[in-house]
Structure 1
């Protein structure tokens, strides 16, 4: 069981990939190229800049199929020499060809990209070449903590002023046959119908996850006009978590790693309420890319101001968390700051004693419409100094929705007006769509 990449589309012209090369290109290289390109565009980077590219990944074990296919020729020839079989050259060639196809089937002759696309550094170089970046480009490998190590290197590059920005990408197709067989041998898992996450009564397993992701890092400047999803304050050992509101767990599903994380949580109990969650409940364990999935998810939650619910959650497998301030959100809800709190803060756990500390200033947070705003009812605040004035406001609101104005835009405008003007009376309408809002208006108009 797991979350597999079934198929994806890429623009061969945009990424300068020949059609014949695309047939042999390793899919993880193509997927990361697409993810990194989108991240760079979102960050607004320009070409020909001093930008570094770091790729977090492990060796793709499918390369053993290519190696086995490559070695078949001399292995069969050696085997025939040690037997009494005497075959003609044409028969030996046919035997070699059949065996190669049985191990790793490819139409036509092998191409260089079929083998070179397994080399991690070439993925980083390809991204850098696409944008003509002049900074260093290389791969970082450290199993599940590959992203954490890549972020540490990026932090050093930016703090020393060696580059203007760093693109950090990660990819892992952990659902490959070789990957699954090896990891199941090392850490057998028991799958359930509705698997969930760490500390759940049905979480004694790890799930396969596949994917690629990328982020762009810059040195933080308070006066910058850049779109900031989150600020990485620190990458290091575990903190007590007294000042955070959300903790993204490693939750690998591997028994020894789960137990270590649980012990660490119970050892460092927070004084304030801290929500727990993990992206692996949605996407499974992406191994080398799992840190990237956790980082992107947590940053988006801070940016769009919501605490995410845990998918397929049942209950903790023990009562150890009942006497702590940790809690497991079953549904996503708005991330509301406490009185006097100016920053949203969160942490992301790696495997072992490593953690990322994130923050986002309330003033820098996204001012548009976030995820939950599109899922929850809107508040329409009408103000006036008399009943007649309020009725006029209701008529104007009704006219706006009749003319097809966006409900989110109307709600935001009314909220701004409410904050700027002081009135004697206020009406608040709660509605999710146009029909329910018109019913609300009719109720007040009749009364």
Structure 2
């Protein structure tokens, strides 16, 4: 069996609780911070649906009540500039905010791949989006007298992908995927498969989730799955259920050979992906350890790796007692015979919760950045490891501090399991050494543009704030990117600089 053609991650963008972009996301992980908070007041009146005190063990839970008022929420999910994308204000107001988030995130991810979004117009670029929540439609479509034609195009899972394809004028496959919690990792699998089949030359793979009502909070509570403090505590002795989260992320994928030939930056390489189903388990919402194990074995075999080759594992890790146990057993069957030391195990859910439709892609972004920075972030709650999981015997360990990866090629594995039984798994590898197309250029002119003079000032300040957090050695690449990749909008300002501090000061002065 030949290994699948490797696929490169050449660009990415994300927003998650406590992190406005990939840089802040990485800082959140490395510092081991908690991204959860109380339900924002503009969402719903949280105390109205709250249980009065903890439910007694085995006691019936009052219907319509949630045991938590906490979760992982992103800031300003409604912030959107419709004119930038050529969308009328009334149409934007009727759009599910998840569509807006995906559109913004996709644009930035394409630019991060050193490609001007306009240059993809008319190409066979594909869009594959994992989405599980449709709460906006439930809120907007309940009043029949208010429904307009815009509400039809503004709602529906399918529009999550189609909105991106339409506004970027992409002609490749475009589809939304709902397999519950594994949706976005399944979307990544379909995107990689389409690239290998020649259905597209670029693929955008992502996921999104917004918590707009307490419905799933109530469901998780009634099903005994919700953590009272709204936090996921994967593989911890204190694990007591799921804490919900929201977020959005998009990866730009390309066949590795094409990316290297074009000297594009490569964050990481997809060596193999796979999907299967639990079949009949102990219940339609219960995980199946054997199905997970079979899938992981198959993907590792296809990728040409064994347990000794895996440097770290980004687990599904919801923090439910049953889910953690099933996953530890499935992984331990493979890692228990390692000849080296224990393999690092973690889950991004410990930082801000379970992002449902975006959960799988959140784990992939964490893994991609870890391979890119050659460091695995620590796991929250690692000091309180659940002894019942027997992680040491299974050659698995939670990281109490960052793990520096060795030189050479490093492999990592990512799992995502959906309620209802659809499982997904991926194997990634560190990128090959290559020369970036802008790497030899000297610092020069940094350009910022906007669609109107009014928008130019805020854009200059936003760029200054972002650049102030970056190292000096990025200056040459950023100057090149601002002129060759960023959109050439009609109102522009340019600043010449020989170092980052001068550039930041010049942008603020121009603003």
TM-score normalised by the chain length of structure 1 = 0.68
How many residues align? The count is: 330
- Check conservation: 2:236, 2:319, Cα contact below 8 A: no
Which structure's relative contact order is higher, taking Cα pairs within 8 Å and 6+ residues apart?
2
| Alpha-carbon offset, residue 407 of structure 1 | 9.1
Q: 1:244 aligns with which of 289, 310, 319?
A: 310
Query: 1:329 and 2:329 equivalent?
Result: no
Change (3 A) 1:116 1:178: farther
- Deviation track 1:75-108 (CA, whole Å, cap 9, x = no partner) reads xxxxxxxxxxxxxxxxxxxxxxxxxxxxxxxxxx
Asked whether the 8 Å contact 2:234–2:381 carries over to 1, the reply is no
Q: Who is 1:297 aligned against?
A: 366
Residue 357 of structure 1, aligned match among 419, 422, 427: 427
Matched, 1:234 2:272: yes
> Helix, strand or coil: the match of 1:208?
coil
Tell me the equivalent position of 1:23.
Answer: 93
Match of 2:251 among 215, 218, 223: 215
Following superposition, the deviation at residue 175 of structure 1 comes to 5.6
1:32 maps onto 2:102 in alignment: yes
Deviates more, 1:50-59 or 1:289-298: 50-59
- The Cα of 1:211 is off from its aligned counterpart by 0.8
Q: Give the 3 Å change call, closer, same or farther, for CA 134–306 of structure 1 in structure 2.
A: same
Deviations 1:44-103 (A, max 9, x none): 332322201111112514433444433xx8xxxxxxxxxxxxxxxxxxxxxxxxxxxxxx
Over 3 Å counting, the alpha-carbon distance change for 1:15 and 1:185 in structure 2 is farther
TM-superposed deviation, 1:327? 1.8
Among 263, 275, 278, the alignment partner of 1:225 is 263
**Aligned pair partner of 1:271 in 321, 331, 339:** 339
Measure how far apart 1:145 and its partner are. Answer: 1.6
- Larger mean CA deviation between 315-324 and 142-151 belongs to 315-324
Deviation at 1:155, TM superposition (A): 2.2
Q: Which one of the candidate residues 88, 108, 128 is aligned to 2:165?
A: 128
Shift of 1:224: 4.5
**1:58: which partner in 2?**
132
Aligned position for 1:376: none
Q: Which runs of 5+ in 1 are unaligned?
A: 74-108, 369-405, 410-447
Q: Does 1:256 align with 2:256?
A: no
**Cα deviation 1:154-192 (Å, max 9, x = unaligned):** 222211212111111211114632232233333432324
* 1:315 corresponding residue in structure 2: 384
Give the deviation of 1:33 after TM superposition: 1.1
Summarize the Cα distance change of 1:345–1:364 in structure 2 as closer, same or farther, 3 Å threshold. Answer: farther
Asked whether the 8 Å contact 1:305–1:335 carries over to 2, the reply is yes
Q: CA deviation at 1:355?
A: 1.7
Counterpart of 2:120 in 1: which secondary structure? coil
Counterparts of 1:185 and 1:208, CA distance in 2: 15
Q: 2:363 & 2:435 partners in 1: Cα distance? A: 19
1:21 and 1:111 in contact (8 A); partners too? no
Deviation at 1:110, TM superposition (A): 4.2
Contact 1:276 1:328 in 2 (8 A): yes
1:3-28: CA deviations, max 9, x gaps?
A: 11241432222122222333332211
1:130-169 alignment, distance < 5 Å? 130-169=167-206
Q: Secondary structure of 2:235's match?
A: coil
The TM-score normalised by the length of structure 2 is 0.60
Deviation at 1:219, TM superposition (A): 1.1
- Partner of 2:208: helix, strand, or coil? strand
1:47 corresponds, among 97, 115, 120, to 120
